[in-house]
Structure 1
Amino acid sequence: MKSVFVTGGSGFVGRNLIKKLTSENIEVFALSRSPESDQRIIEAGATPVRGDIHNTDVLRTALAGIDTVFHLAAAVDFWKSRKHLWHDHVGGAKVLLEAATKNNVSNFVYLSAASVIMNGKPILHGDERTQSNNLMDGYSQTKLEAEQMILKANSPTLRTISVRPPLIWGKGDTSALPQIKAAAEKGDLSFINGGTHLIVTCHVQNVCHALTLAAKVKIGGEAFFITDGEKLQFRQFITDVLKTQNMEAPNKTVSLGVARAMANVFAFIWNTFGLKSTPPLFPGMVNTLGLPFIVSDDKAKKLLGYRPIISVKEGLVEMSHNELV
């Protein structure tokens, strides 16, 4: 890699990826939609390119001379419907792919999500062969559609590859964990079935490490799960994260059955009355936070040479006494 283009560069993963790439003396350009995004991208070490992922002219100009595209941009929202998310996730990926093809870009690395196999049931031995016929949220549905389209576009001239992390976390997180922190501060955080179920996670540094490995290998048309390499009890992980912020986890718990019933009621009310806000509980949240979810990253270890570069313990130490946002 010599010159790369990043979408989602002002986000949590994007800023960390830019720092990693520039530390390796790689020239980085990143798509930006606002002055605020420009500033975050510049501070991370990249050159902002003002535009939108749906703007064909901007992308075709921006990708001239680029050898690798990292497509990270996404609306991480497990409440919004497929209809609401399709335009950005699938439509945006299509425009970016076409621009990459027109500019003879060599590598197209997609940041997918482990939730593309979630089916409302416990997953204890998931891998890349695991498929779901019952994706219950628009986010996972559209991320999978985009991934399938991108991998299908793999060719001798444009190598495409996808990385599937589970819960991404770490210092500077601006997504899931700050929401958990806010819920804990309000006293609204309850664990489903006591939160004793096992999950896997992926620290942002491990995500960026995997993305750069994916950009360098010769393999194309494949998806790879990546993790921190540790099975964690959900409640203990959340407790440990909150502890780094000098906060205690609540003792409140609710059964899976009650959580699902409440989620369905809230979803019905919000959909019936067309409420614009996000309900306090909904089916996608229950599936994401309330069920065992274990996937193997053996394929990434074997074919990408992936190994975690930071442990969960090290990541927690790094977060200690530092604000998440």
Structure 2
Amino acid sequence: MATVFVMGGTGFLGKETVKSLVKRGDTVYGLARSRESEDRLQQLGAIPVPGDVYTPERWIRHLPDMDYVINVLGFFKDGKPARLSVKFSVVCREKYIKWARTFIDVTRLKGVKLGVHVTGTTVYEDGGNEWVNEDTPLRFTKNGFNRIAAPATQLMVEEMAKGVPIVVAVAPNIVYGDEPDTSFDQVFVRPLKNWQMGIVGQGKNYITTGHVEDVGRAIAFLTDSTYAGEFFHISGDDPVTQKEFFTAIARGLGRGWVPRLPEKLVSVLGGKCAREFMCLSQRIDNRKLKSAGFTLKHPRFLDEIDQVMARLQEAWKRESTTAQPERFES
């Protein structure tokens, strides 16, 4: 069994990753900047490492020996802004590249077998109606969430070329699940419920989704030195159009229709990055991951979403009765 250090282990996706690592018998350490984070990691079966990702000099040299390090920190680690504007992307990009450099520092300093960097499919070119796979060119243009992720992707490519053992786990742009107050809930479901979200443009563009359990399991699966130097797409089997995506969520909310929003209006209300993100078209091909031996538990978004929405709304009811303060996890 291996020893793994996780950056971002208390987030929406990070928790599923930690669960999967612990389940397979690994010793898992997780960075924790608060007592609450320490408690969450312990509940997951991980060992907390007190420290803040913004001040790695205070903890990085005190890390235990390890076999693997995983960076699963998300864009919204510090909370979701009111608008996904270009200004927000500039601030978030600086944080995101700092986290990536810290990940590289840990990978080099500890001499690990492999570092796993988790990013999103936004780092690949728009494919239109064509399939996007690991051979599709990476894109470094400032568009959507790639305004945030591109420099970190470039850093990984450069470090891999130098022989640093890294695998890039390309998570779907939309990770869904039934936990409340996550990015899926806060960015898509609640705004749609409150009539603040709808189909952008014609809604014919393809978006990639993945159930949070499968994505976490896949990241743990790729935590294996066999995959050094590779990129792997993680996604469900059914790319859905933006229209299908929102219609399915609306059905789960008891809605018979979804409002349509002009692209210019989305830019004004939600921010330019939001409009660019929602108009990106990518049909993700996950065959490389499956050929490596990974099996999805939740392969089809359209088959899963009704149950997910039912459980999510039950969780809302439980939250309202216990009157817990809101939190946001990326």
Instruction: Give the alignment's TM-score, normalised by structure 1.
Output: 0.82
Unaligned runs of 5+ in 1: 267-279
Verify the 8 A CA contact 1:187 1:250 in the aligned structure 2: no
Letter of the structure 2 residue corresponding to residue 322 of structure 1: L
Give the 3 Å change call, closer, same or farther, for CA 145–305 of structure 1 in structure 2. Answer: farther
Q: Please give the alpha-carbon distance, in whole angstroms, between the structure 2 residues aligned to 1:130 and 1:44.
A: 37
2:307 to 275, 294, 317: 317
Report the identity percentage.
19
Q: 2:327 — aligned with what?
A: none
Give the 3 Å change call, closer, same or farther, for CA 281–319 of structure 1 in structure 2. Answer: closer
Q: Please give the alpha-carbon distance, in whole angstroms, between the structure 2 residues aligned to 1:185 and 1:319.
A: 12
Q: 1:74 — aligned with what?
A: 74
Deviation of the 1:223 alpha carbon: 1.5
Q: Please give the alpha-carbon distance, in whole angstroms, between the structure 2 residues aligned to 1:156 and 1:229.
A: 34
Deviation of the 1:212 alpha carbon: 1.9
Does the residue aligned with 1:305 lie in a helix, a strand or coil? Answer: coil
Q: 1:271 — aligned with what?
A: none
Q: 1:294 — aligned with what?
A: 283
Give the 3 Å change call, closer, same or farther, for CA 75–200 of structure 1 in structure 2. Answer: closer
2:154 to 139, 148, 153: 148
Letter of the structure 1 residue corresponding to residue 158 of structure 2: K
Q: Please give the alpha-carbon distance, in whole angstroms, between the structure 2 residues aligned to 1:240 and 1:308.
A: 21
Q: Please give the alpha-carbon distance, in whole angstroms, between the structure 2 residues aligned to 1:103 and 1:34.
A: 24
2:238 to 230, 236, 245: 230
Letter of the structure 2 residue corresponding to residue 13 of structure 1: L
2:189 matched to 1:181?
Answer: yes
Unaligned runs of 5+ in 2: 317-330
Give the 3 Å change call, closer, same or farther, for CA 200–21 of structure 1 in structure 2. Answer: same
Give the 3 Å change call, closer, same or farther, for CA 39–8 of structure 1 in structure 2. Answer: same
Matches within 5 A, 1:196-207: 196-207=204-215
Higher relative contact order (CA 8 A, sep 6+): 2
Q: Please give the alpha-carbon distance, in whole angstroms, between the structure 2 residues aligned to 1:315 and 1:187.
A: 19
Verify the 8 A CA contact 1:123 1:295 in the aligned structure 2: no
CA offset digits 1:24-69 (Å, max 9, x no partner) = 121111111222222322222212222122322302212x211111
Q: 1:134 — aligned with what?
A: 141
Does the residue aligned with 2:116 lie in a helix, a strand or coil? Answer: strand
Verify the 8 A CA contact 1:184 1:249 in the aligned structure 2: no
Q: 1:98 — aligned with what?
A: 105
Count of matched residue pairs: 302
CA offset digits 1:138-191 (Å, max 9, x no partner) = x42342321332343238985200011221111226003333222123222221
Give the 3 Å change call, closer, same or farther, for CA 219–180 of structure 1 in structure 2. Answer: closer
Verify the 8 A CA contact 1:16 1:204 in the aligned structure 2: yes
Q: Please give the alpha-carbon distance, in whole angstroms, between the structure 2 residues aligned to 1:301 and 1:192.
A: 32
Q: 2:2 — aligned with what?
A: 2
Q: 1:37 — aligned with what?
A: 37
